[in-house]
Structure 1
Amino acid sequence: MRPRFRLMRRLALLLLLLALLLAGWAFIRQRPQDLPWTKLDLAQPVGLFTGRKLAALTRDSALCRALLDKAGISYRAMPPGGEGRCAFRDSVRLAPDREAIALSPASVAPSCPVAAAIRLWEWHVVQPAALRLLGQPVRTVTHFGAYSCRRMYGRDTGAFSEHATADAIDIAGFVLDDGRRITVAADWNGEGKDAAFLRAVRDGACGLFSTVLSPDYNAAHRDHLHLDQAERGATGWRACR
Structure 2
Amino acid sequence: MLTIEGITKHFDASPVITDFCLTVPENGCVALIGPSGCGKSTLFDLIMGVVPMETGKIRWRDRIVPDLSQLAAYMQQSDLLLPWLGLVDNARLPSDIAGESKATSMPRVEALFDRLGLAGFENYLPSMVSGGMRQRCALARTLMFGRDLVLLDEPLSALDAITRRNLQQMLRLLQTEFGKTILMVTHDIEEALVLADELIVLTRPPMRVADRITLSMPHPRRLEDPPLVVIKHRVLNMLQEGRQA
The structure with the largest alpha-carbon Rg is: 1
TM over 0.5: no
TM-score normalised according to structure 2 size: 0.29
TM-score normalised according to structure 1 size: 0.29
Between 1 and 2, higher relative CO (CA 8 Å, sep ≥ 6) is seen in: 2
**Larger fraction in helix:** 1
